[in-house]
Amino acid sequence: MNIGHHEQTRVPAHPFAEFIRILGKGKKGARDLTLDEAYRAMQMILSHAVEPEQLGAFLMLMRIKEETAEELVGFVQAARESLPVVAETTQVDLDWSSYAGKRRHLPWFLLAALLLSENGIKVFMHGSAGQTEGRLYTEEVLQQLGIKTAQSFQEAEQHLQQYNFCYLPLQIISPKLYDIIELRNLMGLRSPVHTLVRLLNPFNAPYSIQGIFHPSYRAVHQLAAAQLGQQHMAVLKGEGGETERNPDMTCLVQSVHEGILSDEHWPALFEHRHVKAEHLDPQALLRVWQGKQEEEFALASITGTCAVALRLLGKADSLDAAQAMSNTFWQNRQTQTLPLR
């Protein structure tokens, strides 16, 4: 008897279902992705080869378990391959990620980055406009200060050549990664993309500095950077999750130098804790730079962050020497106006 016409046509499983199945098979059946699996999963996501339901499920399963260093390496490798090819002649000394936004204090790290650029260090900063209400994001602050932000890779190269500093939004670097980050408010949670974008380093700078909020992610960033072949990298628990040293607290900086992992403890610069500002006024950055407003927390944050970067860059052979160099940079800055205005 021919029963073929009674049988339902079986729909083959979607190729991306493999990765959701690995992550979601329960407490005993689920496991981490291998580096190759993470690479292939992110490759499919960035090539628009997954359904929206699959993307949501994948991101939240990853969020629940938290990404491993190997998974992060696979994600970053796939993401880097999806980026536009940049000119090999473009020189960047320090890659600086800025994705968290500030809530308690102003983004004093911006003045640290500009201080470095004023002293001949080419700083490439990348980030994303806000996904969380009540936070002040770098792109918005730069616009309020009248500082130019690049709108293309070509313009980024020009800014680096002219000013030794550039900020390029993630939506220009990778529209797809930007779209995924923008799901933050829809999902109510961050996703692995918030981690991987900090390691993107689009211009392949030899030095990279990153700030995180959750201390457990420090070691993940450190291990991933080493496996990605990043020559020199430092990651710290930054104020508010940005790459900014909090002078009120001891700061553990975990680094990679030519494949060798190391940790350094930077001491707190104050015995007391500073209260958060009642109002975050970005114009205060300009006033502090020009010497028209004095704030001990701001000054310590700026020079302290700059010192961590100088130590990473190999400009100083001790913590004290890095801080002294940073203090000198600050004392000798051109106070008439901020750079890039």
State how far the Cα of 171 lies from the Cα of 184, in Å rounded to an integer.
15
State the DSSP string of 223-282.
Answer: HHHHHTT-SEEEEEE-GGGSS---TTS-EEEEEEETTEEEEEEEPPS-SSPPPPPSS--T
What does the pLDDT average to over 108-125? 97
Q: Is the pTM of this model over 0.85?
A: yes
Summarize pLDDT for 285-338 with one digit per residue, the tens. Answer: 999 999 999 999 999 999 999 999 999 999 999 999 999 999 999 999 998 877
Whether residue 4 has pLDDT greater than 60: no
Segment (H or E) for 137:
none
Q: What percent of the chain has a predicted confidence (pLDDT) above 90?
A: 74
What does the pLDDT average to over 188-217? 91
Q: Sign of torsion, CA 240 243 244 248?
A: positive
Q: Output the pLDDT for position 237.
A: 93
Q: Output the pLDDT for position 341.
A: 62
Domains annotated on the chain, with CATH: 14-81 (1.20.970.10), 94-331 (3.40.1030.10)
Q: Output the pLDDT for position 26.
A: 79
Q: Output the pLDDT for position 317.
A: 94
Q: Output the pLDDT for position 328.
A: 98
- Taking alpha carbons only, the member of 11, 86, 81 closest to residue 40 is 81
Summarize pLDDT for 54-65 with one digit per residue, the tens. Answer: 999 999 999 989
State how far the Cα of 109 lies from the Cα of 241, in Å rounded to an integer.
11
Query: Terminus-to-terminus CA distance in the chain, angstroms?
Result: 83
